[in-house]
Amino acid sequence: MSTLFDRLKPPPHKPEITDHETVKNLYSHWRLRVFYSMYIGYALYYLTRKCLAFSMPALIQDLGYDKAQLGILTTTLAISYGVSKFVSGLIGDRSNPRYFMAIGLMATGVFNILFGLSSSLLVLAVFWGLNGWFQGFGWPSCTRLLSHWYSKSERGRWWSIWATSQNIGGSIIPLCVAYLAQIYGWRFAMILPGIIVILGGFFLLNRLCDTPQSLGLPPIEKFRSDYTPHLPRESERELTVREILFEYVLTNKYLWVLGIGYFFVYLIRQAINDWTILYLVEMKGYTQLGAGAVVFWFEMGGIAGGILAGWASDRLFAGNRGPVNVLFCLMSIGAIYGFSQSPGNVPLLDSFLIFLIGFLIFGPLILIGIAAAELSHKKAAATATGFIGCIAYLGAATAGYPVGVITQTFGWEGYFLTLTICSVCATLSLLPLWKVGVHAPAQLAV
């Protein structure tokens, strides 16, 4: 056990390499290797997280649960994942992501398999909740890597490209799960992804590393001459837990504002993921596979929207994420209303509208996370994003059982009214950060 904890600790910094060409070549190699490794790894996290949404119709048919009962499962995962995201963020800032991310991925695979072998609602909820807890190991690991391997002026683009991994993991692969659920049953569609991600954990153990300094490279800010003005240059020292929590996270007013906006954005995102397939099957006469093919475009819209949002915030707003967040949330109101009013089974129109909603929701979904990391300390980035992620997953939890009850009671009209109200609230809550960029002091307390 002590050996495991020793491996989770960040490795010590090696003496800094002084030869410029060697540093340049090593940075080129490791930045690419770290990027594709965490991209694949985080996509696999989403594979096990999204299996249930794509298996819901088959699970309802087999076990006879209603919407509110299935909402208990999605809410359980959202709560456990949200709490884990904060706790794991605090641990992740002081851990080696090579082991932290790999262990979490393997554990999600184990609980996916156990879920596929169960039938009792209580047992399913326990295993799905444990899956959610270990899901929380993925984001902090990637946040630490992105904050240490990519500097301020380029981070929006790199982060937004990396974030498309959740769209790939949440669309293309689970679409295969929907096919497996329709042909072989929901149990097989849960077990096979579990096996795949366990193998993915071994891949991460082989490919990932920790910070550049653990390889003898200079900090990324020094390598690119790209320092964040409000942070001291000696910030490469590891912070204590007390410093992380009480100097850079809990007393940071910007994180609280971002968290409120994140709550509403994540509620919309999770509600679309969890309930749209069921809506298309029940109300528009789609087959399970046909509905999955439509919802696939939600994630594809997310890829386009996330990349454009990252580019626009870097290039058009000089690293200020606020304006893009507000504009995207404002436009999402119209997109959600349009989808709610679209006629019956018209796959092309429904796919376009779902693509548009994904485009507009994933922009702020990604930029809020970047803003949280930048408006805190680099050594507290995982905790900062984990903190607002915890608030966000209260929104995701609300998209489960509460939205399930609203839909059961008031029909799908109540469902779409809820999403529209959330879009308005997200826009208004993020508006105060319009002019707050990466040059804002990180230690302004509440």
Q: What is the pLDDT of residue 444?
A: 41
pLDDT of residue 75: 79
Residue 4, domain member (yes or no): no
What's the pLDDT tens digit per position in 385-401? 888 888 887 887 788 77
Q: Mean pLDDT of all residues in the chain?
A: 84
CATH of the domain at 171: 1.20.1250.20
Q: Is residue 330 part of a domain?
A: yes
Q: Is the pLDDT of residue 426 over 80?
A: yes
Say if residue 159 is exposed, middle or buried (CB neighbours under 10 Å; 0-12, 13-18, 19+).
buried
In the chain, how many domains are there?
1
312 lies in a domain?
Answer: yes
- Let me know if residue 25 belongs to a domain: yes
Residue 234's pLDDT is what? 43
The answer as to whether 443 is a domain residue is: no
Mean pLDDT over 172-193 rounds to 76
> 20-49 vs 172-184: helix axis angle to the nearest 10?
30
From the list 174, 156, 177, 155, the residue with the least C-alpha distance to 166 is 174
pLDDT at 343 over 50: yes
Structural tokens at position 249 = 């996270």
User: What is the pTM assigned to this prediction?
Assistant: 0.74
Residue 445 has pLDDT above 60, yes or no: no
Asked whether residue 441 carries a pLDDT value surpassing 50, the answer given is no
- pLDDT over 70 percentage in the chain: 91
Percentage of residues in the chain having pLDDT higher than 90: 33
What is the structure's pLDDT at 228?
Answer: 58
In a domain, residue 199? The reply is yes
| HEC assignment per residue over 161-212 | HHHHHHHHHCCHHHHHHHHHHHHHCHHHHHHHHHHHHHHHHHHHHHHCCCCH
Is the distance from CB of 384 to CB of 248 less than 8 angstroms?
yes
- Give me the mean pLDDT over the 124-131 stretch: 93
Is-contact 310 367, C-beta < 8 A? yes
Q: Measured between alpha carbons, how far is 153 from 391 in angstroms, rounded to an integer?
A: 27
318-342: per-residue pLDDT in tens? Answer: 778 889 999 999 999 999 999 988 8
Residue 144 lies in a domain: yes
The residues, ordered by sequence, that sit 6+ positions from 193 with a Cβ below 8 Å of its Cβ are 47, 48, 51, 109, 112, 173, 177
